């Protein structure tokens, strides 16, 4: 099913309750909203937006199972794995192998020591060999950021590595990767500030936090670009960029939850030690959503009653 990984693939938040447990009903409701209302093209769970680094193997399986069951094959589901060893990644991959996931989304090792290029290539080769699942490299770790040259080497030499989620803000690195890889892999953008130019350059879609914050706008933008309406794509860029500027902070997953709350969607609370959205952060986020037409002003709310 990995050939269907394209378009808008929101990385879902994990709806934690105050006691740290996972709110399965909220997770199901958000899955239905994203598929039925926002009409996204896929879903990603247990990534950095979903605070995957805090999840146990059992929680990773539970979240994946709930979303796969609710999606019922209507869109591909990707399971994120954020771990520090080959064995830990394989354990999580094997835990979801029977759940019909389209792919795993795996970070490079993110502890202080970066494996050299040969060891990094072997890391991904060992994971795909043991799990027998397609793998998307989540290129996000600053001190283990993989160059376009290394990513291309891994894609060409490791069976099962089928794509890259290219993060950070450097559009040239994305452009270089797209040019080097061509159509040999699924290159998904996570350059949140520059989604529109990512699509124009040839990214086959996005797995990016902004997609969860405002999925409807992001689907509209993707559809506009695919239809060749670049004027509309740029107009939507000018609505989406201020939202990214407002939410991008050390507690990004919490700020995405606040966007969801303003839109009537339940995202739970962040898992400690991540703080909730502060009072100082809330107003700029709300103003950005109002400016994009996603939520109403107080006057508009009163008039609608």
Q: What does 225-244 look like in DSSP terms, one character per residue?
A: HHTT-HHHHHHHHHHHHHHH
Extract the residue ranges of the chain whose pLDDT is less than 70: 1-2, 298-305
Whole-number pLDDT of residue 302: 57
Determine contact, residues 199/236, Cβ cutoff 8 Å: no
3-state secondary structure of 260: helix
The residue with tokens 């998307």 is 136
Q: How far is CA 126 from CA 122, 154, 230, 253, in A?
A: 6, 12, 42, 30
Whole-number pLDDT of residue 226: 97
Determine contact, residues 81/92, Cβ cutoff 8 Å: yes
Whole-number pLDDT of residue 83: 96
The CATH class given to the 2-227 domain equals alpha beta
Model confidence, pTM: 0.96
Q: How far is CA 86 from CA 64, 123, 140, 160, 239, in A?
A: 20, 6, 17, 16, 41
Whole-number pLDDT of residue 29: 98
Which residue in 64, 75, 4, 85 sits closest to 106, CA to CA? 85
Mean pLDDT over the full length of the chain? 96
Residue 238, C-beta contacts closer than 8 angstroms, at least 6 positions apart:
none
Whole-number pLDDT of residue 112: 86
């Amino acid at each position: 099913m990995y050939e269907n990984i394209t378009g808008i693939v929101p990385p879902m938040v994990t709806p934690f309750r105050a006691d740290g447990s996972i709110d399965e009903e909220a997770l199901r409701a958000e899955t239905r909203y994203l598929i039925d209302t926002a009409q996204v093209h896929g879903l990603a769970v247990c990534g950095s937006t979903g605070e995957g680094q805090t999840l146990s193997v059992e929680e990773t399986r539970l979240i994946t199972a709930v979303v796969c069951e609710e999606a019922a094959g209507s869109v591909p589901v990707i399971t994120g794995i954020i771990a520090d060893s080959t064995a830990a990644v394989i354990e999580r991959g094997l835990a979801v192998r029977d759940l019909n996931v389209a792919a795993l989304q795996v970070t490079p090792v993110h502890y202080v020591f970066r494996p050299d290029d040969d060891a990094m290539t072997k890391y991904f080769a060992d994971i795909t060999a043991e799990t027998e699942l397609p793998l998307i490299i989540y290129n996000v770790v600053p001190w283990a950021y993989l160059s376009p040259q290394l990513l291309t080497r891994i894609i060409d030499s490791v069976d099962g590595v089928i794509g890259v989620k290219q993060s950070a803000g450097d559009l040239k690195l994305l452009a270089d990767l797209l040019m080097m890889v061509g159509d040999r892999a699924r290159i998904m953008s996570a350059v949140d500030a520059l989604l529109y130019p990512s699509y124009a350059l040839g990214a086959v879609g996005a797995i990016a936090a902004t997609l969860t914050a405002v999925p409807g706008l992001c689907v509209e933008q993707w559809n506009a670009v695919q239809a060749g309406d670049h004027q509309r794509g740029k107009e939507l860029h000018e609505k989406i960029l201020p939202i990214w500027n407002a939410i991008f902070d050390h507690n990004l997953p919490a700020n995405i939850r606040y966007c969801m709350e303003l839109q009537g969607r339940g995202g739970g609370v962040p898992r400690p030690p991540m703080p909730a959205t502060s009072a100082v952060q809330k107003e700029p986020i709300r103003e950005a959503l109002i400016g994009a037409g996603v939520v109403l002003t107080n006057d508009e709310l009163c008039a609608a009653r």
